[in-house]
Structure 1
Amino acid sequence: MTRCCKCPMPAVIYQKYSGMHLCQSHFDDDVHRKVRETIRQTGLFAHGLRLALAMDGGKGSAVMANIIKELFARRRDIDLALLILDDHGPGAKSAWIASQQLGLRVSIKALPVSLLNERVASDPAPDPISFAQKMRMMTGLAREMGANAIATGHDLDDMATEVFISYLEGNICGLQYGRQETRPEGYEQGMIPTIQPLRRIPGKEVRLYALQHGLCFAEMRLEDELHKEARQELCRFDSRHPGTKYSLLRSLEKLDKERSDRSGSQRSKAFK
């Protein structure tokens, strides 16, 4: 029996990128630490905040909401609410069950009938409702409830795949998916910042966390062929070269920092 590298308890996971075997307790600590570091860097939680948790029924949103609730249980100035886009599919049902487990306030928005008809007519297998379309609807619902920010359940695999595809297409500077707003003033300008608390957690670790904690989620992966192939190739490469996904994420964060610094410099010049 393989034991945890930090205590005598049996290990539940081996992290290739860190070389660590971790038991359930230390695995949870590791996940929570990464989430805390990620949300601390956003700068959004220093003072009071109304945070909308986007629930899509997948493992990521269930884990994200569970951890966020646990981390901010004692913060009375942090108001949490769950947002669900109802497409009458298995994801919406799982999202509703997960919300009941969490016991948080829920806001549900049914997808327009025209959009659902378009999905069935175009192709009943994949989901042509784009990430941008869903986020626009989520943003509208979040704005109605007075939220200051939206949190999604995208994990490291999701982030790295999008960065990988953007590099292949030569459009990394134009990548919007996964960019994390780190300045609270974005909301004051009419925009609601979006954050990804699980962006540093590998997909298999998110799934393990969900299973170990008995969270309800639907096994779904609605992707086009490009994303499916890119994700598979990236996972194969990362298995041979552990840490590749983290390197891709760091490249995005570096570009975001440079963009933020340039934007701040331009604002400073404008007020001189």
Structure 2
Amino acid sequence: MPAVIYQKYSGMHLCQSHFDDDVHRKVRETIRQTGLFAHGLRLALAMDGGKGSAVMANIIKELFARRRDIDLALLILDDHGPGAKSAWIASQQLGLRVSIKALPVSLLNERVASDPAPDPISFAQKMRMMTGLAREMGANAIATGHDLDDMATEVFISYLEGNICGLQYGRQETRQEGYEQGMIPTIQPLRRIPGKEVRLYALQHGLCFAEMRLEDELHKEARQELCRFDSRHPGTKYSLLRSLEKLDKERSDRSGSQRSKAFK
């Protein structure tokens, strides 16, 4: 079959069927590492209207369609923007249960009043609201649609700022003790899939998503520079992600060692 994509980092030309297999394989490997799906689970799928959330929800639904012990529900934060509208249309395509939480009017008015063109609401703010909504529905974990580009950009910025420990969503935490009070585990099933592949998957499968990306100037510039560098040196984004995962493993090993000593 004709190839639909050429992966510079792997050197492979993939047809539609093998491209889908490659995406699904990476997602399966990622979610298997979390250890959350071995038994029953109520998973909240965070929908922000972007290509990532639509693809993430579609693949998760397909992978666990036969698992009766896996309960899926979509979460939408309604900010009255194009993203919320696209998220709602995508949820109708998926046919899953939906919970919608409107952003407080006071928050929206306050941001617009202070700045005619305010920065997007931070991920931390959105996740706090998502967590509250997920807890109301009894979810055990939240899945977001962040892809490899999102992850690598955050790691890149954190390295530049000398604050790799301050990453907000780079770490795929799956242990309750790793969170501050009131939080639940968050995973990123698309963390090993480049953004352009996520977009291609969404287009090939007819998924609805908003093209507009809301991010501040720092993230825009960092994303552009990283994409230019990765085009000349394929695999750079994967290297950044692996560096974070290596740091997390070392941190986890240290925590386990400390707990073992505490029980002795």
Q: TM-score normalised to the size of structure 2? A: 0.96
Q: Secondary structure at the match of 2:118?
A: coil
Runs of 4+ in structure 1 off by over 4 angstroms are 184-190
Secondary structure in structure 2 of the residue aligned to 1:147? coil
Please tell me whether the aligned partners of residues 76 and 100 of structure 2 are also in contact (alpha carbons under 8 angstroms): yes
Q: State the Cα distance separating 1:153 from its structure 2 match.
A: 0.2
Quick one: which of 202, 215, 229 aligns to 1:210?
202
Deviation at 1:182, TM superposition (A): 3.3
Gaps of 5+ in 2: none
Query: 1:183, CA displacement in angstroms?
Result: 3.3
Distance 1:144 1:198 in 2: 25
Task: Judge conservation of contact 1:44–1:184 (CA < 8 Å) in 2.
Answer: no
User: Contact conserved, 2:123 with 2:168, CA < 8 A, in 1?
Assistant: no
Q: Partners of 2:256 and 2:177 in 1: how far apart? A: 12
Cα distance in 2, alignment partners of residues 183 and 20 from structure 1: 36
- Give the C-alpha shift of residue 259 in structure 1: 1.0
Q: What is aligned with 1:3? A: none
Alignment of 1:132-171 (within 5 A): 132-171=124-163
Alpha-carbon distance change, 131 to 190 in structure 1, aligned in 2, over 3 angstroms: closer
Q: Which residue of 1 aligns with 2:177?
A: 185
- Provide the rounded CA distance (Å) in 1 between the counterparts of 2:243 and 2:5: 27
Residue 188 of structure 1 aligns to a residue in which SS? Answer: coil
Q: Tell me the distance in 2 between the aligned counterparts of 1:112 and 1:220.
A: 22
Quick one: percent identity of the two aligned structures? 100
Aligned equivalents of 2:181 and 2:105: distance in 1?
Answer: 32
**TM-fit CA distance, 1:206:** 0.3
1:12 is paired with a residue whose SS is strand
The CA RMSD over aligned residues, in Å, is 1.6
Which is worse superposed, 125-134 or 153-162? 125-134
By how many angstroms is 1:27 displaced? 0.2
Are the counterparts in 2 of residues 126 and 224 from structure 1 also a CA contact under 8 Å? no
Deviation at 1:220, TM superposition (A): 1.5
Instruction: Give the Cα separation in 2 of the matches to 1:191 and 1:157.
Output: 25
Instruction: Report the Cα distance in structure 2 between the residues aligned to 1:235 and 1:89, rounded to whole angstroms.
Output: 27
Structure 1 residue 261 displacement after superposition: 1.1
Alpha carbons 1:42, 1:183 under 8 Å: kept: no
Moved more, 111-120 or 176-185: 176-185
Give the match's secondary structure for 1:47: coil
Cα offset, 1:185, TM superposition: 6.5
CA distance in structure 1 between the partners assigned to 2:114 and 2:199 by the alignment: 31
Please tell me whether the aligned partners of residues 76 and 101 of structure 2 are also in contact (alpha carbons under 8 angstroms). yes
**Relative to structure 1, is the Cα distance of residues 233 and 27 closer, same or farther in structure 2, using a 3 angstrom cutoff?**
same
On the 8 A contact 1:150/1:193 being kept in 2, the answer is: yes
Deviation at 1:225, TM superposition (A): 1.0
* Contact residue 54 and residue 151 of structure 1 kept, 8 A: yes
Q: Does 1:195 align with 2:187?
A: yes
> Cα distance, 1:120 vs. partner?
1.8
Count, aligned residues = 264
Q: Show structure 1 runs of 5+ residues with no match.
A: 1-8
In structure 2, C-alpha distance between the alignment counterparts of 1:255 and 1:210, rounded to whole Å = 32
Contact 2:174 2:186 in 1 (8 A): no
Deviates more, 1:175-184 or 1:241-250: 175-184
Moved more, 55-64 or 116-125: 116-125
Closer, same or farther: CA 225–189 of 1 in aligned 2, 3 Å: closer
**Residue 128 of structure 1 is aligned with which of 100, 120, 137?**
120
Of the structure 1 ranges 178-187 and 60-69, higher mean CA displacement relative to structure 2 is found in 178-187
* Distance apart, 1:176 and its partner CA: 2.9
Deviation at 1:53, TM superposition (A): 0.1
2:101 partner SS: strand
What SS does the corresponding residue of 1:79 show, helix, strand or coil? strand
**Could you tell me how far 1:127 is from its partner in structure 2?**
3.7
| Superposition deviation, residue 124 in structure 1 | 4.3
> Aligned with 2:215: secondary structure?
coil
Instruction: Give the deviation of 1:186 after TM superposition.
Output: 5.7
Give a deviation string over 1:122-142, Cα, whole Å, max 9, x none.
334454311100000000000
- Is residue 43–residue 183 contact of structure 1 (8 Å, CA) maintained in 2? no
How far is the alpha carbon of 1:267 from its aligned partner?
Answer: 1.6
CA 1:136–1:31 in 2, change beyond 3 Å: closer, same or farther? same
